[in-house]
């Protein structure tokens, strides 16, 4: 069932049930109160009639006639009789047999209608006696006779009938109004949802540049629409990245493979001798390929969000000195200097392997870009709540226009030189991801021909 239909039906159902409950409760309460109200009213009327007749009797005494009292009898449909103190009738109006006949006739005429509305249509004839007084002394007796329930039922029926009619009428009006409101409300709710569903279906079918433009004032639906759009945007970005990545990788792999192929072909064609020197060139290309594959593996891990960080608390000062100890012979072999200034006892919570990888990337980069009299200086010290690592070299430096891009994947500043150094353009992007995974920051300052300085800040508030 569509949301629209469901909401409309639920709304009408609620309206319908409310009307039934309200009618039921009001009917019940009115029924309870109404009879007492009518009895009170009747008693009040009888009281007034008695007062009037008492006054009339005081004026006329036993000369009072039926005509004098018949007006009251007719008006109220009752039997009136005045008796003296010896119980002898002085006059009456609407005498009993006539009254009874009249009431019976009326009951027959209305019987059908009454039956359908009231359980109690057979009125019981009742007489009430009132003393007629003069100076607080009884001088005669007034008898008022009436049909008890018939009189009540008829009035009550008319009232209840009107009440039922008004309930039905207001019910119909409410249902129509409810229908209109529910149609409007459910449209207001379901239209944006339909729009969002359509967008989601398009996204599912691979159309990633669609966006939901659902217009709604409902906060939750607005949030859903924004989430769908955000999802589509993320998917689109990832898809773009994936495509760019795939083309970058194939491009990166093609160059060393082409070199290898042409060299192998040269050997096969006898143009090149399979000498140590030539095979070594092949070996260097294979090494480059191996490095590229290793870097790709690392990048994939960070790219796919599979980077697992196992933080441990360790003395980074000590670890840094060990690392420098390992790198010193490599620097020496190339004729470069590796100096350092390390503040002792800096504790840090970090993944030790990732720390080594970061340092390895920075140090091997500096070796690549050092020239004669090359020198690298490592600084480590505490600054506020951070451990600050500085790796500074006096190598080739980076051109100003390249600086903003060197942390991007596959970005290599100086292509001609990089080809020789065997760089993949992935090292710094991996380094940056690793630093940021530890809530740290990395930035670079460099001057072409003068040198490069990488600064890393890692939180260390221990
Ligand atoms: P690569 O594997 O090519 O070194 P990186 O991501 O590590 O890739 O570095 C990106 C680019 O930044 C390099 O191609 C190089 O041009 C530049 N670069 C990085 N480190 C240095 C440095 N210490 N001195 C000069 N240039 C550097």
**CA 364–ligand 1 middle distance (angstroms):** 10
Q: Considering only CA atoms, which residue is closest to atom 22 of ligand 1?
A: 366
- What ligand 1 atom has the least distance to the C-alpha of 366? 23
User: What pLDDT was estimated at residue 172?
Assistant: 86
How many Å lie between the centroid of ligand 1 and the Cα of residue 406?
A: 7
| pLDDT at 239 > cutoff 70 | yes
pLDDT in tens, 6-32: 888 888 888 888 888 888 888 788 777
Query: For atom 25 of ligand 1, which residue has the closest CA?
Result: 397
Residue 407 Cα to ligand 1 middle (Å): 9
Report pLDDT digits (tens) over 308-322: 788 999 999 999 999
- Inform me whether the pLDDT recorded for 102 exceeds 80: no
Q: Please check whether residue 381 is in contact with residue 440, taking contact to mean a CB–CB distance below 8 angstroms.
A: no
What mean pLDDT value characterizes the chain? 84
Task: Give the per-residue pLDDT at 152.
Answer: 58
pLDDT of residue 106: 53
pLDDT score at 282:
87
CATH number of 241-305: 1.10.287.130
In this structure, the strands spanning 137-147 and 79-84 are antiparallel
Name every protein residue with a CB atom under 6 angstroms from any ligand 1 atom. Answer: 365-366, 369, 393, 395-398, 406, 411-414, 418, 423-429, 452
Q: How far out from the chain centre does Cα 95 lie?
A: 79
- The pLDDT of residue 249: 79
Pocket test for ligand 1, best of 406, 415, 434 (most atoms within 8 A of CB): 406
Q: What are the residue boundaries of the structural domains of the chain, listed by start?
A: 3-173, 241-305, 308-459
- Common-topology check for domains 3-173 and 308-459: no
Distance 256 CA to ligand 1 centre (A): 19
pLDDT band at 217 (very low <50, low <70, confident <90, very high): confident
Could you report the per-residue pLDDT of 375-399, keeping only the tens digit for each? 999 999 999 999 999 999 999 999 9
pLDDT average, residue stretch 180-206: 89
Model confidence at 416: pLDDT above 60: no
Arithmetic mean of pLDDT, 70-79: 84
Choosing from 294, 361, 412, 415 the residue with most ligand 1 atoms within 8 A of its CB, the one to mutate for a pocket test is 412
Lowest mean pLDDT: which of 106-115, 261-270, 380-389?
Answer: 106-115
3-state secondary structure the chain: CCHHHHHHHHHHHHHHHHHHHHHHHHHHHHHHHHHHHHHHHHHHHHHHHHHHHHHHHHHHHHHCCHHHHHHHHHHHCCEEEEEECCCCEEEEECCHHHHHHHHHHHHHHHHHHHHHHCCCCCCCEEEEEEEEEECCEEEEEEEEEEEHHHHHHHHHHHHHHHHHHHHHHHHHHHHHHHHHHHHHHHHHHHHHHHHHHHHHHHHHCCCCCCCCCCCCCCHHHHHHHHHHHHHHHHHHHHHHHHHHHHHHHHHHHHHHHHHHHHHHHHHHCCCCCCCHHHHHHHHHHHHHHHHHHHHHHHHHHHHCCCCCCCCEEEEHHHHHHHHHHHHHHHHHHHCCEEEEEECCCCEEEECHHHHHHHHHHHHHHHHHHCCCCCEEEEEEEEECCEEEEEEEECCCCCCCCCHHHCCCCCCCCCHHHHHHHCCCCCHHHHHHHHHHHCCCEEEEEEECCCEEEEEEEEECCC
User: Average of pLDDT values for 178-207?
Assistant: 89
- Determine the residue of 399, 428, 429 to mutate for testing ligand 1's pocket, defined as the one with the most ligand atoms within 8 A of the Cβ atom: 428
In this structure, of 80-94, 186-200, 249-263, the range with the lowest mean pLDDT score is 249-263
Which ligand 1 atom is nearest residue 295's CA? Answer: 2
pLDDT confidence of residue 120: 39
CA-nearest residue, atom 23 of ligand 1: 366
Q: Which residue has the tokens 């710094």?
A: 428
- Check whether 415 has a pLDDT greater than 60: no
CA of 414 to the centre of ligand 1 (A): 8
Q: What pLDDT was estimated at residue 113?
A: 40
Question: Distance from the CA of 450 to the center of ligand 1, in angstroms?
Answer: 15
State the pLDDT confidence band at 460, using cuts at 50, 70 and 90: confident
> Mind listing the pLDDT tens digit for each residue in 308-365?
788 999 999 999 999 999 889 889 988 999 999 999 999 999 999 889 989 999 998 9
Q: What is the mean predicted confidence (pLDDT) over 83-102? A: 75
pLDDT at 440 (0 to 100): 96
**Structure tokens belonging to residue 374:** 């090359």
Given this model, what pLDDT does residue 116 score? 36
Q: Ligand 1 center to residue 449 CA distance, Å?
A: 14
pLDDT of residue 101 exceeding 70, the answer is no
- The fold for domain 3-173 equals Beta-Lactamase (3.30.450)
Cα(428) to ligand 1 centroid in Å equals 7
409 alpha carbon to ligand 1 midpoint, in Å?
11
pLDDT > 70 in the chain, percent: 88
Nearest CA to ligand 1 atom 8: 425
**Best residue for ligand 1 mutational test, from 256, 365, 412, 435 (most atoms within 8 Å of Cβ):** 365
Which of 299, 398, 432 for a ligand 1 pocket mutation test, highest count of atoms within 8 Å of Cβ?
398
* Amino acid 419: pLDDT: 47
pLDDT at res. 18? 86
Options 3.40.50.720, 3.40.50.12780, 3.40.50.300, 3.30.565.10; CATH of 308-459: 3.30.565.10
Give the per-residue pLDDT at 111: 47
Separation of CA 363 and ligand 1 centre (Å): 11
Q: Which atom of ligand 1 is nearest to the CA of 424?
A: 2
Residue 210 has pLDDT above 70, yes or no: yes
Instruction: Calculate how far, in angstroms, residue 29's C-alpha sits from the geometric centre of ligand 1.
Output: 90
Provide the whole-model pTM. Answer: 0.51
**Mean pLDDT, residues 303-312 taken together:** 76
């Amino acid at each position: 069932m569509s949301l629209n239909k469901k909401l409309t039906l639920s709304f009408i159902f609620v309206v319908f049930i409310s009307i039934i409950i309200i009618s039921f409760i009001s009917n019940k309460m009115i029924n309870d109160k109404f009879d007492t109200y009518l009895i009170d009213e009747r008693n009040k009327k009888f009281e007034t009639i008695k007062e009037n007749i008492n006054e009339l009797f005081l004026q006329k005494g036993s000369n009072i006639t039926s005509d004098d009292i018949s007006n009251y009898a007719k008006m109220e449909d009752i039997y009136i009789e005045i008796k003296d103190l010896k119980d002898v009738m002085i006059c009456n109006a609407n005498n009993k047999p006539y009254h009874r006949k009249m009431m019976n006739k009326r009951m027959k005429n209305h019987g059908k209608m009454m039956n359908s509305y009231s359980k109690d249509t057979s009125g019981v004839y009742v007489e009430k006696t009132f003393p007629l007084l003069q100076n607080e002394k009884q001088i005669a007796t007034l008898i008022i006779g009436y049909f008890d329930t018939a009189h009540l039922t008829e009035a009550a029926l008319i009232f209840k009938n009107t009440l039922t009619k008004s309930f039905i009428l207001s019910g119909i009006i409410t249902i129509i109004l409810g229908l209109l409101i529910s149609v409007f409300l459910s449209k207001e709710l379901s239209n944006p949802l339909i729009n969002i569903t359509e967008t989601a279906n398009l996204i599912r079918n691979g159309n990633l540049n669609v966006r939901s433009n659902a217009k709604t004032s409902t906060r939750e639906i607005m949030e859903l629409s924004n989430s769908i759009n955000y999802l589509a945007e993320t998917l689109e970005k990832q898809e773009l990245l994936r495509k760019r990545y795939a083309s970058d990788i194939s491009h990166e792999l093609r160059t060393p493979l082409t070199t290898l192929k042409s060299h192998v072909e040269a050997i096969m064609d006898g143009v090149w001798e399979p000498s140590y020197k030539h095979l070594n060139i092949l070996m260097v290309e294979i090494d480059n390929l191996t490095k590229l594959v290793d870097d790709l593996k690392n990048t994939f891990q960070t790219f796919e969000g599979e980077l697992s960080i196992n933080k441990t608390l360790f003395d980074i000062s000590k670890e840094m000195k060990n690392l420098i100890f390992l790198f010193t012979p490599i620097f020496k072999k190339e004729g470069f200097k590796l100096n350092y200034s390390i503040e002792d006892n800096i504790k840090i919570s970090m993944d030790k392997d990732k720390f080594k990888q970061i340092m390895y990337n920075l140090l091997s980069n500096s070796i690549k870009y050092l020239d004669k009299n090359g020198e690298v200086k490592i600084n480590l010290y505490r600054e506020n709540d951070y451990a600050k690592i500085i790796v500074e070299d006096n190598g080739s430096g980076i051109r100003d226009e390249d600086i903003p891009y060197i942390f991007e994947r596959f970005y290599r500043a100086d292509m001609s030189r990089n080809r020789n150094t065997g760089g993949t353009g992935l090292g710094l992007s991996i380094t940056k991801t690793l630093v940021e995974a530890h809530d740290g920051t990395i930035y670079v300052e460099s001057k072409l021909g003068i040198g490069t300085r990488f600064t890393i800040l890692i939180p260390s508030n221990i």
